[in-house]
Amino acid sequence: MEDLGGIETTNRIQLLDLPWADVLHTHLFPKLTLKSLFSVRVLSRSAHACVADYFQSCQCLDLTGVGKKFSRHCFQLVTTNNTSYRIVSVSAAKSWLEDKDLIPVIEQNPFLVELDISCCTALSSRSLYSLTAHCPRLMMLNLDGCNWLSTECLCNISRSIPTIRGLILSGCWSVDDRAISVLAAECPELRVLSLSRIYSITDQSLFALALKCRSLIALDFRGCWRITDNGIQTIAEYCRRLQRLKVQDCRSVTEISLSPIRLSGVSVDVPRPKYSLEPQFNQFVQQLKLQI
* CATH 3.80.10.10 residue ranges for the chain: 181-292
> What is the per-residue pLDDT across 132-161, written as a single tens digit (0 to 9) for each?
999 999 999 999 999 999 999 999 999 999
Q: How far apart are CA 238 and CA 189, in angstroms?
A: 14
pLDDT band at residue 68, thresholds of 50, 70 and 90?
confident
pLDDT band at residue 278, thresholds of 50, 70 and 90?
low
Helices (H), the chain: 34-41, 45-57, 72-79, 99-107, 125-134, 151-160, 177-186, 203-212, 229-238, 255-263, 279-291
Q: Are 73 and 101 contacting, i.e. CB atoms less than 8 angstroms apart? A: no
> Which CA distances in Å does 83 have to 59, 80, 87, 108?
9, 9, 12, 5
Beta-ladder partners of 2: 9
Between 182 and 23, the more confident residue is 182
Q: How far apart are CA 236 and CA 231, in angstroms?
A: 9
**Architecture label for domain 181-292:** Alpha-Beta Horseshoe (3.80)
The full DSSP string for 123-185 is --HHHHHHHHHH-TT--EEE-TT-TT--HHHHHHHHHH-TT--EEE-TT-TT--HHHHHHHHH
> What is the per-residue pLDDT across 224-273, written as a single tens digit (0 to 9) for each?
999 999 999 999 999 999 999 999 999 999 999 999 999 999 999 999 88
